[in-house]
Chains A and B, each alone.
Chain A
Amino acid sequence: MRTAGGEPTDRETMRAEYERRMGAIRRDFDSDGDGLVAIAARSALVDNLVSRLWAAEVEGDAALAKGMVVAATGGYGRAQLFPCSDIDLLFCANKGEAEHAKDAIRRVSQALWDCGMQVSPVTRKVSECERFSLANAEFGLALLDRRMIAGDAAVFARLNEKIREKMMARDVKTIRAEIVSLTRERHAKYGDTLFHLEPNIKDCPGGLRDANVYGWLRMLEGTSPSGGEFEDAVRFLAATRCFLHYRHERDDNTLDWRAQDAAAELSVGVGRVRLPGGVDPAYWMRAYFRHARAVERSLLREFESNGLALATVEVRRVKLAGVEGFRLKDGRLILDAAGNVDPATEPETVLAVFEAMAKTGARLDGESEQRIGAAIPQLSANLEEGPGLWRRLSAILTGERAGVALRAMHTLGLLDLILPEFHGIDALVIRDAYHRYTVDEHTFVVIDTLHGLEADPGPKAPEWRVKLGSMLRELQNPGLLYLAALLHDTGKGRAGGHHAVESAQMAKGVLARLEMDAYDAALVLRLIETHLEMSAALRRDIFDADTVRTFVGRVQTHELLRMLTLFTYADIQAVHPDALTPWKAENLWRLSMNASNQLDRNVDEERVHAGGKDERIVRVLALLPGAQAAAERFLEGFPERYLKTRPPEAIRQHFEMTRRFDEEPFQISFQHGASTSEITLVTQDRPRLFAGMAAALAAWGMNVVTAEAYANEAGVVVDSFRFTDTFRTLELNASERERFVASVRDLVAGKASVEKMLSGRKRGKRRAPRVSVTTKIDFDETASSHSTLMQVVAQDVPGLLRAMSVTLSALGHNVEVALVDTEGETAIDVFYLTHGGHQLNGEQESELRDALIEAIAENAR
């Protein structure tokens, strides 16, 4: 059979021709890698075959020449037929012609199937195409991309007119709403992120479907897609999808690891010339993510200009006090217009914008976003590091919507500017069968998950969920946990060693630039270094004493244990939505509880023997060349907890303080911090030292958060107290800090009277506690061979530590080791006590219990 023009329409010939020309299209693609050319060429090929088949039908039945049109819709309508895409054909009749054309439509469709195409034919009257039906939204959207292939042009003109004047004009709001709904649904299926390790390049956020959505929205407002990065992105994605179709030989758009390797080897989409040997797969995937981001960005801007919101997260109503250079209006953060200086170039203003974003979840308006993006070089020149930057970063990290702000900062390059260490994990694919997201996105999901714990867990929440929520709320400085979370996987961007060690190594630079307090910096580093320890322990028997002891040996403090528990929960959850089952979460909580119970049990028993080859001792000694023998004597006999929890630099400082005993026997170091401050006393052991320090801090109105008291074999004590400044005395009066240190020294040395100072203090009215804690005192004689362990759990109120330590002194008990901790409104204090160099006997324990209960009650009144 042939058409009037002499072209064959018999199935064998058409199939051969289709296969031959498809082969030519593929050869062209293999040679030039241009996906857009390939999909246009396939569309043209199918147009030709459809036209010929319809022409043959019309030749056989002249009645078909009038009243029927054959149109392409959907991707075919856009003339973008990927190698294995379905072919959406609309046989549209003016009125009742469709019934007459039924056999012809069947034959045309059958012929196309026989050629090897997946055809989806639809037959409709024009009048059936003038309404957008929610019941068949996909068809309505496909109609937006329609193109005449063959048949009666008058019918197509009428179809066009009806769609434009009826459907698009009347139902435009419904169409837009349905586009939003379908897009949200599709994005949610992919976790609302484009950063998947094996993305579906059609349906994932930032994929070709998003490019179509962008095109539809532009069409509905009467404009065409803009060029630039969007056009480049579509070109890249088109090439990649063609590659995947040829590779998989079906409409499978999953960019799996093997496909990534193959695409990188062929440098698919990366320039017109295929590079010999291809490119590195990690580089190629970054190119993919860059283009996907461009598509997503274009789509978000289009949503914004249409007054639509893709994100389902509501903007929180938070009052932003004292902000300058920007405003929050209609749920958008908008930079002020540029005056003499553009606010977009001012780091303080820009960071304040992201702080507001982290608090509210509001996004930047398109213009502000572009201005900040363009101002990155000036921001880089103007950015000042140090404590001010840490304050801002901490405020961003602890904002409830930190994830929104961090992702926006990352996209604009601002996060990389502040933390160049983060650049190495930008869109980094790590091939791990359990992970779902790229390393940077995984990091943001960890932070989102932690913030998720802030929400009310509800009355039916399991115990572990309630406990984790309160654990997070009770952290003294949650910014440290979030900073560790932000940096924990940066080491994955470096080739070589264990990523936890590499990440900690990289974090050192960050902490130094932020000029963080030594204690806080050490905590962040230890959290990063040990961030896999709890997951590892969970794979062992969590009720086995050895497992718990080994884990505890790595953690050492309650503060780190709490942070590690929270971090591990979030880290597992962020691997994959199904990775953390309730079973696993409960095991995590049980392990945390077991470890907490074990944590303070053997501190007095496990002592440093400086002659050993412990790596930590070696590190301390390395800092003290020429004084190694004296330093070894200093370390001898301290509890191992001291060596394991203090950075070598801090231990060096304590050692050097002992060398100044001749000048001043009560050596004190003081570090003022924004949230907590630390004071350390190094001196020769004598009675009532710990009580004296606790009393001195109470006299100054300081609230002790944690404290540790250790002594070495030579009787040198190191007592450290971390405290909050209840009345902000030291924060508001920097000059008072020196007086504070001198006063504490005098009070500890007995040169001034604590009682006199305390009597001169007016005690403010205490607020009622939110949680009432009953005092509980336990003794354990088995934890140490020579001292008695006493654990006191009580309501945390100012002066508590003083009240307890004064009672201990009054009864003649010596504090060998003290480990003071606070969890929200609960104080949990552990003391290793001796009396006359021996463990306490039953009578002494009983007397002490009664005295402490009375002293604690008296202090609370």
Chain B
Amino acid sequence: MQKIEAVIQPSKLDAVKDALVELGVLGITIFEVRGHGRQKGHTEFYRGREYAVDLLPKIKLELVVAEEMVEKAIQAIITAARTGRIGDGKIFVSKIDEAIRIRNDERGEIAL
């Protein structure tokens, strides 16, 4: 099992979600976050006043999938979230030792 964490543009959430559901991914956790990578922030002027836009709104997705699904899920996210511009986001993948369903104590991939 692997955990995929993806930070994407908020406007791409629906497309990414649909792509993952299409693939058969059953569970996704979504966070509303702010941050910056290479995109960094910038300064805006509003009606004569200066405002720093240093942290940009992003959506972070977390999903844990079985080994055979990992690459497909990554490709689905990339395809749905890519615009080719700076700020498209990042994907991080890490190993998961165990998954447990609280309701019935099921363990392993069956608990996903």
Flag whether A823 is at the interface (Cβ < 8 A): yes
Q: Which residues of B contact A583 (CB under 8 A)?
A: 32-34, 57
B31 nearest in chain A by CB position: A583
The answer on a CB contact under 8 Å between B47 and A596 is yes
Q: For the complex, what is the distance from the CA of A515 to the CA of B20, rounded to whole Å?
A: 54
> Does residue A541 face the partner (Cβ distance < 8 Å to B)?
yes
B84 at the interface (CB under 8 A from A): no
Taking A541-B11, A583-B32, A587-B10 as contacts, is the C-beta distance between A596 and B57 under 8 angstroms? no
A602 vs B101: C-alpha distance in the bound complex, in angstroms?
57
Q: Is A593 a contact partner of B51 (Cβ separation < 8 A)?
A: yes
Q: Is B45 part of the contact surface with A, judged by Cβ < 8 Å?
A: yes
User: Count the B residues whose beta carbon is within 8 Å of the partner chain — how many?
Assistant: 17
| B44 close to chain A: CB less than 8 A | yes
A584 to B31, CA, bound (A): 12
A543 touches B56 (CB 8 A): yes
Complex CA gap A590/B57 in Å reads 10
Flag if A539 contacts B11 (CB, 8 Å): yes
* Residue among A543, A584, A826 with the highest chain B CB neighbour number at 10 A: A543
- Bound Cα distance A590, B43 (Å): 12
B13 (CB) vs chain A CBs: closest residue? A539
Residue A174 interfacial (CB < 8 Å): no
Contact residues in B for A396 (Cβ distance below 8 Å): none
Assuming A543-B56, A583-B57, A586-B57, is B46 touching A593 (CB within 8 A)?
Answer: yes
Q: Mark A582-619, 1 if CB is under 8 A from B, else 0.
A: 01101100100110110000000000000000000000
The closest CB in chain B to the CB of A581 belongs to B32
List chain B residues, Cβ under 8 A from A587: 10, 57
Contacts of A586 in B (CB 8 A): 34, 57
Contact A776 B48 (CB under 8 A): yes
**Contacting residues of chain B (84-111) with chain A, CB-CB under 8 angstroms:** 87
Contact A593 B44, beta carbon cutoff 8 Å: yes
Query: Which of chain A's residues 765-820 have a Cβ closer than 8 Å to chain B?
Result: 773-774, 776, 791, 793
**A317 part of interface (Cβ distance < 8 Å):** no
Interface assignment of A233: CB less than 8 Å from any CB of chain B: no
Cβ contacts B1-26/A at 8 Å (1 or 0 each):
00000000111001000000000000
Report the minimum CB–CB distance from B103 to chain A (whole Å): 19
Give the complex CA separation of A295 and B9 in angstroms: 49
Asked if A828 is an interface residue, CB under 8 A from chain B, the answer is yes
**CB interface residues, B 42-92, toward A, < 8 Å:** 44-48, 51, 53, 56-57, 87
Could you say which residues of chain B place their CB within 8 Å of the CB of A541? 9-11
- A97–B51 Cα distance when bound, in Å, is 78
Q: Which residue of chain A has its CB nearest to the CB of B44?
A: A593
Instruction: Please count how many residues in chain A sit with their CB below 8 Å of the partner chain's CB atoms.
Output: 25
- With A584-B32, A586-B57 known as contacts, the answer to whether A597 contacts B11 (CB < 8 A) is no
Among A584, A590, A773, A823, contact of B53 (Cβ-Cβ < 8 Å): A590
Report A454-507 residues with CB < 8 Å from chain B CB: 463
Contact B11–A828 (Cβ < 8 Å): no
Name the distance in Å between B40's Cβ and chain A's nearest Cβ: 12
Complex contacts, B53 vs chain A, CB 8 Å: 590
* Chain B residues near A584 (CB-CB < 8 A): 32
| Cβ contacts under 8 Å, A774 to chain B | 48
- Chain A residues in 8 Å Cβ range of B44: 593-594, 597
A445 CA / B10 CA spacing, docked (Å): 27
Determine how close the nearest CB of chain A comes to the CB of B56; give it in whole angstroms.
Answer: 7
Q: Which residues of B contact A590 (CB under 8 A)?
A: 53, 57
CB within 8 Å of B: which A535-556 residues: 539-544
B23 to chain A, nearest CB (A): 23
Within 8 A of B (CB), among A156-184: none
The answer on a CB contact under 8 Å between A540 and B32 is: no
- Shortest C-beta distance, A416 to chain B (Å), equals 39
- A597 x B48 contact (CB < 8 A): no
CB < 8 Å neighbour of B47 from A539, A542, A823: A823
- Residues of chain A within 8 A (CB-CB) of B14 are 539
Contact B32 A773 (CB under 8 A): no
Nearest neighbor of A587 in chain B, beta-carbon distance: B57
A596-B46 contact given A586-B57, A590-B53, CB 8 Å threshold: yes
**Which B residues lie within 8 Å of A597 (CB)?**
44-46
Q: How far, in whole Å, are A813 and B97 apart by their CA atoms in the complex?
A: 73
Contact B48 A826 (CB under 8 A): yes
Shortest Cβ distance from residue A531 to the other chain B in the assembled complex, whole angstroms = 21
Residue of B nearest to A828 (CB): B47
Q: Which residues on the B side are within 8 Å of A596 (C-beta)?
A: 46-47
Residues of A within 8 A of B32 (CB): 581, 583-584
Out of B10, B34, B48, B57, name the residue touching A793 (CB < 8 Å): B48
Point out the residues of chain B lying under 8 angstroms from A540, CB to CB: 11
Compute how far the CA of A753 lies from the CA of B36 in the bound complex, rounded to whole angstroms: 60
CB distance from A791 to the nearest CB of B (A): 8
Neighbour of A828 across the interface among B48, B51, B87, CB < 8 A:
B48
Tell me the nearest residue of chain A to B83, going by C-beta: A541
CB B70 to nearest CB in A, in angstroms, measures: 28
Assembled-state Cα–Cα distance A594/B51 (Å) = 11
Closest partner residue, chain B, to A594 (CB atom): B44
Residues of A within 8 A of B47 (CB): 596, 793, 823, 826, 828
- Cα distance A540–B12 in the bound complex, in angstroms: 8
Q: How far is the CA of A542 from the CA of B33 in the complex (A)?
A: 15
Q: Which residues of A contact B87 (CB under 8 A)?
A: 543
Report the Cα distance A593→B10, complex, angstroms: 18
Interfacial chain A residues near B11, Cβ < 8 Å = 539-541, 544
Report Cα–Cα, A542/B57, bound state, in Å: 9
Of all chain A residues, the one with the shortest Cβ separation from B33 is A583
Q: Closest Cβ of chain B: how far from A313's Cβ, in Å? A: 31
Within the complex, what minimum Cβ distance (angstroms) separates A617 from chain B? 32
For A543, the chain B residues whose CB sits under 8 A away are: 56, 87
| Chain B residues within an 8 Å CB radius of A594 | 44
The closest CB in chain A to the CB of B55 belongs to: A586
What B residues does A593 contact at CB under 8 A? 44, 46, 51
Rounded to whole Å, the gap between the CB of A379 and the closest CB of chain B is 46
Q: How far, in Å, is A514 (CB) from chain B's closest CB?
A: 32
B9 — which chain A residues lie within 8 A by C-beta?
Answer: 541
Docked pose: A773 CA to B32 CA in angstroms: 35
A541 and B58 alpha carbons, distance in the complex (Å): 10
Which residues of the other chain, B, contact A823 by a CB distance below 8 angstroms? 47
| Least Cβ–Cβ distance between B38 and chain A, in angstroms | 15
In the complex, residue of chain A having the shortest beta-carbon distance to the beta carbon of B56? A543
Q: Which residue of chain B lies nearest to A538 when distances are taken between CB atoms in the complex? A: B10
For the complex, give the distance between the alpha carbons of A756 and B53 in Å.
50
Complex: A628 Cα to B47 Cα, angstroms = 40
Least distance between B60 CB and chain A CB atoms (Å): 11
Measured CA separation A597–B87 after assembly (Å): 22
**Nearest-CB distance from B48 to chain A (Å)?**
3
Residues A662-705 near B (CB distance < 8 A): none
Q: What separation, in Å, do the CA atoms of A847 and B34 have in the docked complex?
A: 44
Q: Using Cβ atoms and an 8 Å threshold, which residues of chain A touch B57? A: 542, 583, 586-587, 590
Give, as a whole number of angstroms, the nearest-CB distance from A169 to chain B. 51
Choose from B33, B34, B46, B48 the contact partner of A773 (Cβ within 8 Å): B48
CA distance A463 to B52 in the complex (A): 11
The listed residue with most B CB atoms (<10 A of its CB), out of A583, A586, A791, is: A583
Q: Which single residue of chain A is at the shortest CB-CB distance from B42?
A: A543
For the A-B complex with A463-B51, A594-B44 known, give 17 more contacts whose Cβ atoms are closer than 8 Å: A539-B14, A540-B11, A541-B9, A543-B56, A543-B87, A544-B11, A581-B32, A583-B34, A583-B57, A587-B10, A587-B57, A590-B53, A593-B44, A597-B45, A773-B48, A793-B48, A823-B47
Nearest 9 Cβ contacts at the A-B interface: A793-B48, A583-B32, A541-B11, A593-B46, A776-B48, A540-B11, A828-B47, A587-B57, A581-B32
Residues of B within 8 A of A (CB): 9-11, 14, 32-34, 44-48, 51, 53, 56-57, 87
Residues of A bordering B, CB below 8 Å: 463, 539-544, 581, 583-584, 586-587, 590, 593-594, 596-597, 773-774, 776, 791, 793, 823, 826, 828
Q: Can you list 12 A-B pairs with a CB-CB distance of less than 8 A?
A: A539-B10, A541-B9, A543-B87, A583-B57, A586-B34, A587-B10, A587-B57, A597-B44, A597-B45, A793-B48, A823-B47, A828-B47
